[in-house]
Amino acid sequence: MSEATALRSTQKVIFLNPSESPVGARKFEVTCSSCNLREICLPAGLDHDDLQRIEQVVYARRRVKRGDALFNAGDVFNSMYAIRSGFFKTSLLDGEGREQVTGFFMGGELLGMDGVGAGHYNGAAIALEDSEVCVMPFSLVEDISREVPALQRHLHAVLAREIVRDHGVMLLLGSMRAEERLAAFLLNLSKRFTRRGYSPLDFHLRMTREEIGSYLGLKLETVSRLFSKFQEDGLIEVQQKHVRIRDNAGMEQLLTTRH
Amino acid sequence: MSEATALRSTQKVIFLNPSESPVGARKFEVTCSSCNLREICLPAGLDHDDLQRIEQVVYARRRVKRGDALFNAGDVFNSMYAIRSGFFKTSLLDGEGREQVTGFFMGGELLGMDGVGAGHYNGAAIALEDSEVCVMPFSLVEDISREVPALQRHLHAVLAREIVRDHGVMLLLGSMRAEERLAAFLLNLSKRFTRRGYSPLDFHLRMTREEIGSYLGLKLETVSRLFSKFQEDGLIEVQQKHVRIRDNAGMEQLLTTRH
DNA sequence: CGCGCTGTTGAAACTTGTCAAAGTTTGTGG
DNA sequence: CCACAAACTTTGACAAGTTTCAACAGCGCG
């Protein structure tokens, strides 16, 4: 792809979405090769040339304040986003304004894939703490992935991984009881924190009980009761948003034992 | 892409998966341009050249008898499949052998996207009636989509559509009551039958109550009771697997009315 | 430093699941 | 082609799980 094409693509992004401001968005600030999330974000075993070309897809960074939307359902789709730091929830609004949280996302994970192909995002992404994302204009991603098969494969893998993740949530919502859902949720968070170098046994929940409940298909009171029950059973210690896992094996057993 | 590359790709498929037998699998039998599902399967507005190249991705057809698996969870991933005729369910097995149905698929819809990138399928696809699929070796799809941007966009759109579909199911499982779930399910089927030229008001369910229940996160008895209740309420007529929708508006109201 | 959002807990109601039995359809082998 | 078995469906009564409503406590943001 020519540099001219790249510029055209990126400018389109700027003008269509004013909030993607050029402030702090100069390309030379961004390098994937030096990003500490590189191993999570990018495929392994890239040679220097490929890596350099893949870095072109990251056009800019953007800060999102806690409570603000990275994008809303229905917004024109231009870009996918990689989370550099922070924490997001994604959600849908059903017909009557009820919210369904479809996922929680942390550093190194991608957002916005649900907009590919449709021209607009299907759901919203809201920051649960002050966050920063890498902006990847999708037309650029497509252009470069035609030239760099490693990026093409990675893009497909990323989209498919989201499908697999969603199927996991469907399994959770469709066939687990409340207890199992919360255990699965906590263990999943724990695993993802580990990968990012945080403690797997001691972490801070960024979301409210209501958001957890929405994600798990439960009411907030049920979630609260379960936290208390897990604590009584010696599985965890909870204090508001702070969770400490005391009996990891016990939690896993909750998931593998029928009733 | 050279013809040699194409042949290498297709042969790999044959040898890795013996059930993809060359019987009835000769390429010249397959033409997307003459397929009556073309409008559902392929992007609109393709010129003759692009269409010819896209047809290359369909290497073969394969018949799957009712009850047989098109692929199983864990099978090596080589191909995506387009359904030419018939009906499938996809499902996951949870830790203890319980099945979660993740979707039902009919003519013109695609299967196997959950294997992209991981090297193996995440779930299984089982034929609910004698079916026939187009086999699309994924390496071929990737090769050609690098050359034909229309195919590239279509592939991305197809993957994203699956993500959006899954989010819809998560909404259903996470925030609807049993009645709403069944109504949503029936209306969704109705809509998809319409698109294929079948009656939207009068159709034959290919799946059992248990499979419907698994998909909707309900027990089969609950599904059965709801069918009876919908009949009492004059919304539908049911007789085993045959369903006739009598009050479409009433069904839709079930979905838009809170409680 | 206080007001509001978030979280906890209790009791009662409701929805859905479980268990059981009987009826119906489908498929198969004689 | 019939008969029988297996699989699927329906329905009832009861149990269990989850939600609803309500009251109150606590933390944290402004």
First to last CA, chain A: 57
When pLDDT is cut at 50, 70 and 90, the band that residue B5 belongs to is: very low
Footprint of strand C on the protein (CB under 7 A): A 205, 208-210, 220-221, 224-225, 227-228, 238, 240-241, 259; B 177-179, 217-219, 221-222, 239-241
Look up residue B249 and give its two tokens. Answer: 């508006």
The confidence score (pLDDT) of residue A9 equals 40
When pLDDT is cut at 50, 70 and 90, the band that residue A10 belongs to is: very low
Cβ atoms of residues B211 and B126 within 8 Å: no
When pLDDT is cut at 50, 70 and 90, the band that residue B6 belongs to is: very low
Say yes or no: B61 and B152 in one domain: yes
Residue A112 sits in a domain of what CATH number?
Answer: 2.60.120.10
Lowest mean pLDDT among A12-16, A153-157, A212-216, B115-119: A12-16
Q: What is the mean pLDDT of chain B?
A: 88
A175 touches strand D (CB under 7 A): no
The confidence score (pLDDT) of residue B98 equals 80
Q: Got the DSSP string for chain B?
A: --HHHHHHHHHHHHHH-TTS-STT--GGG--GGG-TTHHHHS-SS--HHHHHHHHTT--EEEEE-TT-EEE-TTPBP-EEEEEEEEEEEEEEE-TTS-EEEEEEEETT-EE-GGGTTTSB-SSEEEEEEEEEEEEEEHHHHHHHHHH-HHHHHHHHHHHHHHHHHHHHHHHHHHH--HHHHHHHHHHHHHHHHHHTTS-SSEEE--S-HHHHHHHHT--HHHHHHHHHHHHHTTSEEEETTEEEES-HHHHHHHHHS--
The confidence score (pLDDT) of residue A216 equals 98
Question: Residue A86 is part of which domain span?
Answer: 3-149
The confidence score (pLDDT) of residue A2 equals 45
When pLDDT is cut at 50, 70 and 90, the band that residue B129 belongs to is: very high
Give nearest nucleotide to B180 (CA–C1'): C15
Say yes or no: A107 and A226 in one domain: no
Q: Does some domain include residue A156? A: no
Say yes or no: B202 and B152 in one domain: no
The CA–C1' separation of A119 and D11, in angstroms, is: 49
Q: Does some domain include residue A163? A: no
Say yes or no: A57 and A145 in one domain: yes
Q: Residue B159's closest chain A neighbor by CA? A: A159
Whether the CB of A91 is below 8 Å from some CB of chain B: the reply is no
Distance from CA of B179 to the nearest CA of A (A): 15
Domain boundary among B141, B170, B199: B170
A contacts of B115 (beta carbons < 8 Å): 160
Q: Does some domain include residue A225? A: yes
- pLDDT tens-digit profile of B57-110? 888 999 999 999 999 999 999 999 999 999 999 999 987 778 999 999 999 999
Estimate the crossing angle of helix A220-232 against helix A209-216, to 10 degrees: 100
The confidence score (pLDDT) of residue A14 equals 36
When pLDDT is cut at 50, 70 and 90, the band that residue A134 belongs to is: very high
Mean pLDDT calculated for residue range A28-49: 80
Measure the CA–CA gap between A238 and A204, rounded to whole angstroms.
Answer: 10
Whether the CB of A74 is below 8 Å from some CB of chain B: the reply is no
Say yes or no: B79 and B203 in one domain: no
Which amino acid residue lies closest to nucleotide C25, measuring CA to C1'?
B240
B175 touches strand D (CB under 7 A): no
The confidence score (pLDDT) of residue B17 equals 43
Say yes or no: A137 and A199 in one domain: no
Look up residue A257 and give its two tokens. Answer: 């034992």
Mean pLDDT calculated for residue range B237-252: 96
A contacts of B159 (beta carbons < 8 Å): 116-117, 156, 159-160, 163
Measure the CA–CA gap between B167 and B170, rounded to whole angstroms.
Answer: 5
The confidence score (pLDDT) of residue B123 equals 97
Lowest mean pLDDT among A75-79, A107-111, B25-29, B89-93: B25-29
In percent, the amount of chain A with pLDDT more than 70 equals 88
Say yes or no: B192 and B133 in one domain: no
Cβ atoms of residues A104 and A89 within 8 Å: yes
C-beta contacts of B33-42 below 8 A and 24+ residues apart? B35/B84, B37/B82, B37/B84, B37/B107, B37/B108, B37/B196, B40/B107, B40/B108, B40/B109, B40/B195, B40/B196, B41/B82, B41/B108, B41/B110, B42/B154
Say yes or no: A112 and A235 in one domain: no
Cβ atoms of residues B232 and B243 within 8 Å: no
Whether the CB of A259 is below 8 Å from some CB of chain B: the reply is no
Q: CA gyration radius for chain A?
A: 19
B39 touches strand D (CB under 7 A): no
Whether the CB of B158 is below 8 Å from some CB of chain A: the reply is yes
- pLDDT tens-digit profile of B17-29? 444 444 444 444 6
Mean pLDDT calculated for residue range B137-150: 94
The confidence score (pLDDT) of residue A34 equals 84
Q: Does some domain include residue A159? A: no
> Is the pLDDT assigned to residue B49 strictly greater than 50?
yes
Say yes or no: B159 and B238 in one domain: no
Give residue A132's identity as a one-letter amino acid code.
E
Chain A contacts in chain B segment 187-246 (CB below 8 A): 214-217
Does A95 sit within 8 Å of B171, measured CB to CB?
Answer: no
Lowest mean pLDDT among A41-50, A157-166, B76-85, B136-145: A41-50
Indicate the residue of A160, A174, A255 with minimum beta-carbon distance to B159.
A160
Look up residue A169 and give its two tokens. Answer: 């949530």
Measure the CA–CA gap between A170 and B163, rounded to whole angstroms.
Answer: 12
Select the more confidently predicted residue: A233 or A5: A233
When pLDDT is cut at 50, 70 and 90, the band that residue B38 belongs to is: confident
Look up residue B179 and give its two tokens. Answer: 């009645």
Measure the CA–CA gap between A255 and B96, rounded to whole angstroms.
Answer: 9
When pLDDT is cut at 50, 70 and 90, the band that residue B33 belongs to is: confident
State the count of interchain CB pairs (< 8 A) between A and B. 152
Q: What is the mean pLDDT of chain A?
A: 88
Select the more confidently predicted residue: A28 or B200: B200
Distance from CA of A166 to the nearest CA of B (A): 6
Select the more confidently predicted residue: B22 or A90: A90
- Predicted model pTM: 0.89
Q: Does some domain include residue A219? A: yes
Instruction: Report phi then psi at A203, rounded to 5.
Output: -150, 170
Say yes or no: B123 and B202 in one domain: no
* Adjacent-strand bridge partners of A83: A133
A contacts of B164 (beta carbons < 8 Å): 114, 118, 122
A222 touches strand D (CB under 7 A): yes
When pLDDT is cut at 50, 70 and 90, the band that residue B3 belongs to is: very low
Select the more confidently predicted residue: B18 or B56: B56
Mean pLDDT calculated for residue range A91-99: 84
A240 touches strand D (CB under 7 A): yes
Domain boundary among B170, B189, B218: B170
Say yes or no: B81 and B32 in one domain: yes
- pLDDT tens-digit profile of A165-191? 999 999 999 999 999 999 999 999 999
Select the more confidently predicted residue: A234 or B30: A234
Residue A220 sits in a domain of what CATH number?
Answer: 1.10.10.10
Measure the CA–CA gap between B216 and B176, rounded to whole angstroms.
Answer: 10
A contacts of B153 (beta carbons < 8 Å): 117, 142
The confidence score (pLDDT) of residue B139 equals 95
Count the Cβ atoms, other than its own, within 10 Å of residue A128: 19
Say yes or no: B157 and B194 in one domain: no
For the beta sheet containing A236-239, the strands, ordered from the edge strand earlier in sequence to the opposite edge, are A202-204, A242-245, A236-239
B contacts of A158 (beta carbons < 8 Å): 117
Cβ atoms of residues B152 and A142 within 8 Å: yes
Measure the CA–CA gap between B86 and B74, rounded to whole angstroms.
Answer: 23
Mean pLDDT calculated for residue range B103-123: 95
The domain tally of chain A equals 2
Does B95 sit within 8 Å of A255, measured CB to CB?
Answer: yes
The confidence score (pLDDT) of residue B35 equals 85
Chain D footprint bases within 7 A of protein beta carbons: 7-13, 17-22, 27-28
The confidence score (pLDDT) of residue A31 equals 80
Mean pLDDT calculated for residue range A121-130: 96
